[in-house]
Structure 1
Amino acid sequence: MTEMPTRRRAPGMSTEHRREMIVATALPLLVEHGSAVTTLQIAKAAGIGEATIFRAFADKDELLDACVSAALRNDHVLAELDAVPLDQPLAARLTEAAATLHAYLDRMGAVIGAVHGSGRRGERREPADRSATGGRATATERTHQAVIRLLEPDRAVLRLPVEQLAAIFLGILMGRRGAPGDAETRVETLVDVLLHGVVDTAAATG
C-alpha cells in the first residue's frame, strides 16, 4: 500500500507581520467609525477570527495605540520626498513635496481625530515601536533635511539659507487650513507665495 505523503502546513505569519496587517486593516475603519469601531468589524475586514486580534494585541486600546503610532510614522513620506527629481524646476519640486506632506498630515489628523473625537481619553501608552521611528523630534528633523535637499540645487539664488527656508516651508504647510470655516489653501498657491511673496509687483509698479 502506497503511503500518502504528509501535508506540511504553510508557515504561519509572524506576530509582527500579523500586527501590521491588522493595523493596516483597522486604519480606514478607524477613520470611518472612530474608536467605536469593534474588533469584530476589524477581524471581518481582515479575514481573520476576532481571537486572532487578541493574540497580537493585549486589548483594543493597544490596537488603537498601534494605529496612532502607524499614522505618525513618516518613513514612506521620506521615501517619496527622496524620490522627487532634483532636475525639476524649484516650484515643481516644492509642489510635489507639499502634496506628499499634505496627504500624510491629512491621514495622521484623521486617525488621531477619530480616536480622540470619539471620546477616548486617558493616558496613551508609549508605542512599542518608538525606538524604530526615533520619536517625533527625529521624524521632524528628517523631514526638514528632506526639504533642504529639494532646495539645495537653488541655494545660490535664494534670499535665505536653505535650512531656514525649509523650516518656513514646513511651517506654512502645517498651518495651511487657516481659520475655522475657511477653505484650504491649494499647495500650488502656498508654493507660489513662498517663492514670489504676497505683493503683486506688476500692480504695485503699474
Structure 2
Amino acid sequence: MATTAARAAPLPPTERREALIDVFLDLARRHGRVPTTSEIAGAAGVAEGTIFRVFPSKDALQTAAVEAAFCPASARRDFVAIDRSQPMRDRLVAFAASLQRRIRDVLDLMGALGLSQPPPLHQHAACLETGRHVPSEPSADCAALHVDLFEAVLDLVDPDAITVTPHQLLHRIRLLSFSGSHPGIAHGELLTPEEVVDTVLYGVCARPGPIRD
C-alpha cells in the first residue's frame, strides 16, 4: 500500500483534478495494477472523499487519467524543447530518448490497466498551448493537431545530409524506437537511443571513411 503523504495544500478543482490524475498514473505504473482510492488519497495527501468531489467515480478518474496519458501534447512539448543547436545525430538521439520514455510509460500503463490498445486520441488547441491534456469534447480539428505532432520535429533533420525525406527518417526512428523499447518484441535486448539513431543513420556495415553528420 502507498505510504501516506503529508496533507496536501488546498487546490482549485482543476489543479486538484490534474494532481489526482498524476498520482493515479504514477501508482499504476509503479505497481503494475489499478490503484485503490485509499492508495490514491494517501499518495496525494488528501482524504478519499476529496477524490469524489472532483470525479464522480473511480472509473471517471481512471478514464481521465488514460486520456491524459495518451494525449500527445506532452510529447510534443518535449520534442519542441530539444536543443536545435546540437549536431543532427545528437538532436535525433534526444528525439529517440523522448520517444522511448513515452513508449515505456504507455506500455507500463497499458499493462497495469489491462488495455489491449490505446484509447481514441482527443487533442485540441488548448492541449498544444499548455503542453498537457485539456479535457474537452472531440472536434474536427483533432486529426490535424495530431499530424502537427510529427511536423513539429521535422527541423531536427538536415535534409541535405540524408537520402530519404526528413519524415521518412523520423518514421524509421519511431518504428525502431518502439520495437527496441518493447520487451516482448526485443526479446529483452532493448536498444538505447544511440543504437536506434546510429542504426537508422549509418546502418551496421563497416565504412571506409568518416561518416558525415
User: Which category describes the TM-score, using the shorter chain as reference length?
Assistant: 0.7 to 0.9
TM-score under structure 2 normalisation?
0.74
Determine whether 1:190 maps to 2:186: no
CA deviation after TM superposition for structure 1 residue 15, in Å: 2.2
Percent sequence identity over matched residues? Answer: 28
Equivalent positions of 1:10-89 (< 5 A) are: 13-89=11-87
| Aligned counterpart, 1:156 | 160
| Aligned counterpart, 2:207 | 201
Instruction: Say how many residue pairs are matched.
Output: 183
Higher helix fraction: Structure 1 or Structure 2? 1
| Aligned counterpart, 1:169 | 173
Q: Give 5+ residue unaligned stretches, structure 2.
A: 1-9, 123-133, 209-213
TM-score under structure 1 normalisation?
0.76
* Aligned partners of 2:179 and 2:185 also within 8 Å: no
After superposition, the C-alpha distances for 1:44-74 in whole angstroms (9 at most, x for unaligned) are 1111111111111121111111221121123
- Kindly report the root-mean-square deviation, in angstroms, between the aligned alpha carbons of the 2 structures: 2.8
After superposition, the C-alpha distances for 1:2-61 in whole angstroms (9 at most, x for unaligned) are xxxxxxxxxx63322221111112211112334442101111111111111111112111
Higher-Rg structure is 1
CA deviation after TM superposition for structure 1 residue 138, in Å: 5.1
The 3 A distance-change label for structure 1 pair 162 and 125 is: closer
Q: Give 5+ residue unaligned stretches, structure 1.
A: 1-11
The 3 A distance-change label for structure 1 pair 109 and 131 is: farther
Question: Structure 2 CA distance, aligned partners of 1:53 and 1:34?
Answer: 21
Question: Structure 2 CA distance, aligned partners of 1:74 and 1:186?
Answer: 22
| Aligned counterpart, 1:181 | 187
Alignment partner of 2:151 out of 125, 135, 145: 145
The 3 A distance-change label for structure 1 pair 149 and 197 is: same
* Aligned partners of 1:74 and 1:139 also within 8 Å: no
Question: Structure 1 CA distance, aligned partners of 2:121 and 2:54?
Answer: 17
Moved more, 107-116 or 139-148: 139-148
Q: Which amino acid aligns with 2:19?
A: M
Secondary structure of the structure 2 residue equivalent to 1:179: helix
The 3 A distance-change label for structure 1 pair 192 and 161 is: same
Question: Structure 2 CA distance, aligned partners of 1:35 and 1:189?
Answer: 31
* Aligned partners of 1:85 and 1:93 also within 8 Å: yes
The 3 A distance-change label for structure 1 pair 13 and 108 is: same
